[in-house]
A = this chain, B = another copy of it.
Amino acid sequence: MPRHSVRDVIVETALREFHRIGFAACSVDTITRAAGVPKGSFYNHFKSKEDLAVEVVAKYTAEAEWNSVIDPELTPLEKLRAQFRIMGDVLVGNGYTRGCMIGNMGEELADHSEPMRAQVRASLGGWAEGISATLRAAREAGETSTDADLDVLGRYILDAWEGALLRSKVVKNDQPLDDFFSTVFGQLLR
Contacts and interface: CB of A to CB of B under 8 A. Distances in A.
Contact of A108 (B22, B171, B182): B22
A187 B146 contact: yes
A172 B118 CA distance: 11
Interface stretch (A31-39, A47-55, A156-164): A156-164
Contact of A103 (B97, B158, B166): B166
A160 B171 contact: no
Interface string A111-132: 1100001001100110000000
Contact of A124 (B121, B162, B167): B167
Contact of A107 (B107, B125, B178): B107
A175 interface: yes
A25 B163 CA distance: 22
A57 to B, nearest CB: 11
The dominant DSSP class at the A interface is helix
Interface stretch (A58-66, A73-81, A147-155): A147-155
A170 interface: yes
Contact of A170 (B110, B149, B153, B183): B110
B99 A107 contact: yes
Given A21-B111, A99-B107, A163-B162, A156 B180 contact: yes
